[in-house]
Each structure stands twice: as C-alpha cells, then as structure tokens.
Chains A and B, each alone.
Chain A
Amino acid sequence: MQHCEATKRRVHLVNLDPAAERFEYPPTVDIRELITLEDVMEELGYGPNGGLIYCFEFLMDNLDWLEEQLGDYEDDYLILDCPGQIELYTHIPIMRRLARLLQQWNFQVVGVYCLESQFIEDTAKYFAGVMSATAAMSMLEIPHINVMTKMDLVSDALKDNMDRYFDPDPLLLAEDADRSTGGRFRELNQAIATLIDEFSMVSFLPLNIRDEDSVAYVLSHADNAIQWGEDQEPKEPNDEVEDPDGE
C-alpha cells in the first residue's frame, strides 16, 4: 500500500477477513461492516471454523452489497485481503465463486499466494510450499503469483541458499530434494521439479517488505498477470496522476 501511494497509484484495501483485528491502513471496503466473526460465533454458537464459513456464505447471499461497495472503484487497483483457511479455497467453492464474480464485474483478477520464508529450510520444505500453493490456487482458476514473504528475516547464509528457489533449475532441485528426503521420493521429486520448470506461475517471488525494489518487483509481476495499465484512461489533471508502468 505504501509503495502504491508513493508511486501515486490509486489503490484500495478490501478486507475480506471477518476475523481480522487491526489494520495499518483503514480498508476502503470491509466485510466486517456486513458481518463479523465475533457476532456469528456469539449469536449462532458456531466455532471459529463454522463461523468463518457462515460469514462467507452470508457474503454470497449479499453480493449486491459487495457490488455496490466495489462499484465506485472500477478503474482502480484493489487489494483483497482474504482469510488463510485453506478449506475456503479447496473444499468450499466460495472463493472461486467470488473470483468469477469479480471477473464478471469487469475486474482483472490475480491471486497472490503468500508463504513465509521461515519454513523453507530445505528443498523438501520448498516442495511442500509449492504443493500447498498449487492446492489453493488450482481451484481458483485465475492467474496467480506465489510470493515468499519475510525475506528480511532470513539470515544471509540462508539467503544464498534460497536463490535457487527463485530461479529454479529442475535438475538441481530434484537432486537437492533427493538429498533432503533420503532418496525415497526420487520420482516424485522429479515430477514436482518438472512442474516447477514448466509453469512459472508455480515458482515463488521473494518479498522483502523493507526493500522498495522488492515490493516493486512483486507488484510488477502482479501487474503483468492482469495487464494493468494497458487500458488506463488519462485522468483529469486535478485527480491523482497515474504513474505509467515503465519499469
């Protein structure tokens, strides 16, 4: 958000997490105005899971509210913050329906899957990350990018190691994985390495939140995925001026 403001891009935060607590940037659209997890849990006696699913089903039943909220921002950049529960992406078609609807409302949609770098200690864990990203994203059927976050917390020694995840060489990856898994998963490692090689959307982009260039890099990838900027109309001089994407 900071970066977008700095480059004078009109961007809005849409919060879709009914259990969210606090924000650094006040969201322009907030699902908690429609419904909150707390209320659902209190009034209907659901636990945190059931409550979350109920909130989303409620949202699905009240889509005109969402359409209205988003209607003013048709030409702008929207960042939708979604809850982390993977069941919402795999077992229940809610997120998928939402993505479709956004597309129907003429929004270009890209999914950004974030994974913490802390857990990527070796190639086996990296493969685990790739698999979980694919599990979530395959259901949404929208262009997506995978981002490895908290790179600022990674020690220098590890960072060198991690470069091979961002520019993957399938042969090396498969070998690495064989080493860390003790040779049991040889064919499986090969299959996954091939998957990573064939589909760039499966590999990760590093994100160091303290590094402006890193943020810009990730943003430009997201832009590419949705072809942002191609059909921008020139704005009136007294409005915010859009910076042409000329990285």
Chain B
Amino acid sequence: MDASIAAEKPAAEKPPAAKAKAEAENPPTQTQRPEPVNLIMIGMAGSGKTTLMQRMNAYLHERNDAPYVVNLDPAVAKLPFQANIDIRDTVDYKQVMSEYSLGPNGGILTSLNLFATKLDQVMEIVEKRAQSKRYFLYDTPGQIEIFTWSASGTIITNTLAASHPTVVVYVVDTPRSASPATFMSNMMYACSILYKTQLPFLVAFNKTDVVDDAFAREWMADFEAFQRALAAEEDETFMNSLMHSMCLVLDEFYTHLRAVGVSAMTGQGIPDLFAKIDDAVAEYHAEFRPALERQAQQKRDAERAQKADQLRRLMKDLSTTDGKEVDLG
C-alpha cells in the first residue's frame, strides 16, 4: 500500500483519534498539554481487569506516555505493575478484617470506606501529577458490587468524574459470556453501571485470544440474531416475552456505549482501545461535563434556597418575639 495514502486515511476518517494518538506518541510540549483522563477499570471477578491494566500500562510506557496508576483493590496479593498510589499502603485489609471481625467482603468494603475518607489527600496528589501525566488508571476491587454498589465506590467515581474527563472501562470475560443468556445478564449489569455512574462507557471484551469477540459484535449489531441465539439456547418458555423486552432495552443500551475486543495477554486491540477512549473523552466534554455542571449548579441552588429559607425563618422568629428575651428553659 502506498505509504502516503496509508498515512492520510486515518486522518480523514477520524481526525480526533489520529490527532490524539499523535499527541500520545510524541510527548506533548509545554504549550499543548492534553487534559488528563481518568480510566476506571470495572469488571466481574476474573474478567482480567488487572492484567488488562498492566497491558495498557506497558503500551503507554512504550509510547513515552507513562500513566499514573492507582490500585483500589485492597485484597489483591500481587500486582503485575508498580502502582503510584496503592490502597494497600493506606489500609491493611487483613488487619481490618480481624479488628472489625469482618468476612472477606466486609473487609474489602470497609477498606474502601477507610480509603474514601482520605480521598481528598489522594486527589491533591493526583492534581499535582495532572500537569505531567495524561492517563490515570484506577484498578477496582475484584468483587464488582463492592465498587458499584457502595457509598465509597460512588464517592470515588463522582469525585474523579468531577475533576477530569473520566471513562468507565467495563471489562468482560469474553469466553464466559459466549452463551446468550450470560451475555445478556452481563450487558444488563453493564447497563446498571451506566445508570449509576452516568459516564462514558467503553466495553472491553477481554481474552479475545481465547475466544474472538465477533459473536458479541454480531449480537450487539443485530438484534434479531441475538434473539435467535437466545431462543435456540433457552428451553424454558415462560421467560420468553420478558427476555424479548429485555433485548429491546439492551438494543437501546448499545447505542450508548462503544466496544472493543482486546487481549491483555497478547496485546491485541490495545491501540483501538485507546482510540475509543479518546472518542469517549470527546463525548465526556460534549455531554457529560455539561450535565455534571448542571447537577452541581442544581445542588448549589438548592443549598442557597435552603439557606435563604432558614434565614427567612430566623427573621420571622426574631420579628414575632420582637427582640424580647425568649425562654429556652
């Protein structure tokens, strides 16, 4: 292929991605620092979040764009990368379990809670690094509910989202999701997370070296193909109309996410992953930032209204008692 055409083509098709990629490849100069991006890695236990994070870490290092890495999993034994901030430095998971007589889940949740109390310190450090780093990778605990359905998980996600463009990378165990029912379940849960976080969503179909993600793409693109696959697998009939309605929900859901097939083991798909991340960042600026600011404004307005209301009541009390002594006894 002609070299010049090959070089031009990406620019014509996807200017933002190509530009961002070029920026990533050539370290940014002092004048044009790209805005830092938070990537929250979420996924079910065993989906390969941490391995994928390591692959992304290595990829960025190769491009002289080393990311800032934060580990939020207090129970992990060994990490394949060196984390810049590690929750295990702040909280001793085993000690938490014994001190508070908790089981393993309780231990992780409490560790996360304790960490969340120190979040402002963490954000200060991150802000300093934001000058020199572009990507901030956050690894979450292995049990997905602990992050997605906990107060501390929500606080962490919201704080990150308010500071810089934040993208949720939902890691899927592709081989395990190859059955239509499991796939649907997994996607439903992803939809749940989308509603909870309301952030740009990127589904990373991991382990494509074991099972290719082509089936997933087909099911997401062709609603009827998925229905057929589902009908073929399921022999129970009473769930069918419910399943059908759920498929409709999913079909809508897919329009709100982008997907990429990757293999953390072989490195396949990683460049595409980062291209899609850049798309997600653009989406953040176009849609999410305004929404977040609107929410923040609403909160401020509500607070102001509340203060005004309290003040009014206070004035009312003062006027009725005419400044006389009020017996509080």
Contact = CB atoms under 8 A, between A and B. Distances in A.
Interface of A: 19-21, 37, 47-49, 84-87, 89-92, 116, 118-119, 124-125, 127-132, 134-136, 138-139, 141, 181-182, 184-185, 187-188, 190-192, 194-195, 198-199, 201-202
Interface string B150-167: 010010000000000000
Contact of B195 (A90, A128, A135): A128
B189 A135 contact: yes
B249 A128 contact: no
A142 to B, nearest CB: 10
B14 interface: no
Contacts of A130: 192
A190 B245 CA distance: 12
B143 interface: yes
A85 B245 CA distance: 25
B227 interface: no
Q: Looking at B45, B105, B173, B253, which has the most chain A CB atoms within 10 Å of its CB?
A: B45
Nearest to A96: B181
B182 A90 contact: yes
Contacts of A138: 181, 184-185, 188, 239, 242-243, 246
B85 interface: no
Interface on chain A toward B: helix, strand, loop, or mixed SS? Answer: helix
B294 interface: yes
Contacts of B245: 194-195, 198-199
A145 B154 CA distance: 26
B294 A182 contact: yes
Q: Which 8 A-B pairs have the closest CB atoms?
A: A131-B192, A135-B188, A48-B104, A128-B195, A182-B291, A90-B185, A49-B45, A135-B189
A49 B104 CA distance: 9
A84 to B, nearest CB: 6
A28 to B, nearest CB: 21
B252 interface: yes
A97 to B, nearest CB: 13
18 contacts: A21-B101, A47-B142, A89-B185, A90-B182, A91-B182, A124-B195, A124-B196, A125-B196, A128-B193, A128-B196, A130-B192, A131-B188, A131-B195, A132-B192, A138-B184, A182-B287, A191-B251, A194-B248
Contact of B77 (A47, A124, A184, A195): A47
B188 A195 contact: no
Given A19-B105, A125-B195, A185-B256, A131 B189 contact: yes
B223 interface: no
Interface string B214-247: 0000000000000000000000100101110110
B143 A48 contact: yes
A119 B101 CA distance: 25
B18 interface: no
A89 B186 CA distance: 10
B186 A91 contact: yes
Nearest to A84: B145
Interface in B175-204: 176-177, 181-182, 184-186, 188-189, 191-196, 198
Contacts of A191: 248-249, 251-252
B265 interface: no
A86 B102 contact: no
A184 B177 CA distance: 28
B246 A134 contact: yes
Contacts of A127: 192, 195
B149 interface: yes
B75 A128 contact: no
Contacts of A20: 103
Given A47-B75, A118-B151, A90 B189 contact: yes
Nearest to B142: A49
B144 interface: yes
A91 B188 CA distance: 13
Contacts of A184: 256, 287, 291
Contact of B189 (A85, A92, A132, A190): A132
Contact of B45 (A21, A87, A124, A185): A87
A141 B176 CA distance: 19
A87 B104 contact: no
Interface in B14-66: 44-46
B182 A139 contact: yes
Given A132-B188, A136-B185, A139-B182, A91 B44 contact: yes
B256 A91 contact: no
Nearest to B179: A93
A228 to B, nearest CB: 19
A199 B238 CA distance: 12
